[in-house]
């Protein structure tokens, strides 16, 4: 397995380039081996120039909605399929009255007061790393469930919960594609590792060190791909 990066979005560090990214990618390779028995090698590319049509969108203009001037084709696709009410304000207004906030973007873009304006029993996934979109302590004063990408708070959402098992399952099934059905199966498998007796506001997802995580995800992905366990 190749672990490829251009160094533009290194976990917890940001755009540090390929040389500084190498130790992190080596760590990913070690995690593949430790959790899934997969041999992996880091490949750090010393370029950030795009080829034909991939676009990275950093939208600081507020809500994406139909009729917003200057929409790219990608944003127009999003606008046509979301925001049915045509909300055209900022993020703080968008979360007002909302049940769930999921952020994977930038630090400190919401406040505790913004979370307080959400619906009762709100869920906040503030996953920007190392500084979340909203202070977890402030969010926890108002939201019922708070998850971050950090290990020093409950409900750490870390990609190592998924990628070793996902790739183990893909390799076992000899699949050449990843489908939405596989990813949904992986998510349900992760959820199933937490028993109903264990489930609570501070434990909605298992630890990355839970021994059942990788086998459960791998089996779910393999089954969704229509494969069988490998002899190894």
Contacts of 58 (CB under 8 A, 6+ apart): none
CA 23-166-14 angle, to 5 degrees, is 35
In the predicted structure, residue 62 carries a pLDDT above the cut 90: no
Q: Which residues pair with 28 in a beta bridge?
A: none
The owner of tokens 């393999």 is 222
Query: How large is the average pLDDT for residues 214-228?
Result: 92
In the predicted structure, residue 10 carries a pLDDT above the cut 60: yes
In the predicted structure, residue 183 carries a pLDDT above the cut 70: yes
In the predicted structure, residue 112 carries a pLDDT above the cut 70: yes
In the predicted structure, residue 149 carries a pLDDT above the cut 70: yes
In the predicted structure, residue 224 carries a pLDDT above the cut 80: yes
Considering the entire predicted model, what is its pTM? Answer: 0.72
For CA atoms 140, 161, 19, 48, give the dihedral sign.
negative
What pLDDT, on a 0 to 100 scale, did the predictor assign at position 78? 85
User: Per-domain residue ranges for the chain?
Assistant: 2-44, 54-89, 96-156, 159-224
Own/partner long-range contacts of 63-69 (Cβ < 8 Å, ≥24 apart): 63/87, 63/88, 63/89, 63/90, 63/91, 63/94
What pLDDT, on a 0 to 100 scale, did the predictor assign at position 54? 31
What pLDDT, on a 0 to 100 scale, did the predictor assign at position 55? 27
What is the rounded CA–CA span in Å between residue 109 and residue 221? 35
Per the prediction, the chain carries an average pLDDT of 89
């Amino acid at each position: 397995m190749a672990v490829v990066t251009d160094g533009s979005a290194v976990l917890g560090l940001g755009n540090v380039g390929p040389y500084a990214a190498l130790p992190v990618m080596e760590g990913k390779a070690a995690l593949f081996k430790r959790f899934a028995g997969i041999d992996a090698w880091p490949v750090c590319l010393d370029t950030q120039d795009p080829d034909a049509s991939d676009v990275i969108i950093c939208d600081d203009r507020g809500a994406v909605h139909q009729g917003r001037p200057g929409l790219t084709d990608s944003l127009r696709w999003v606008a046509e399929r979301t925001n049915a009410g045509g909300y055209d304000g900022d993020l703080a207004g968008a979360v007002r009255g909302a049940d769930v906030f999921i952020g994977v973007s930038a630090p400190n873009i919401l406040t505790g007061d913004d979370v307080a304006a959400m619906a009762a029993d709100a869920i906040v996934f503030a996953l920007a790393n190392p500084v979340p979109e909203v202070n977890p302590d402030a969010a926890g004063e108002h939201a019922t469930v708070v998850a971050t990408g950090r290990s020093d708070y409950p409900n750490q959402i870390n990609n190592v919960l998924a990628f070793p098992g996902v790739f183990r399952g893909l390799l076992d099934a000899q699949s050449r594609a990843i489908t939405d059905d596989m990813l949904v199966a992986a998510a349900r498998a992760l959820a199933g590792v937490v028993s109903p007796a264990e489930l609570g506001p501070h434990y909605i997802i298992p630890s990355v060190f839970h021994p059942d995580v990788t086998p459960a995800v791998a089996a779910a992905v393999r089954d969704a791909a229509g494969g069988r366990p490998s002899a190894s």
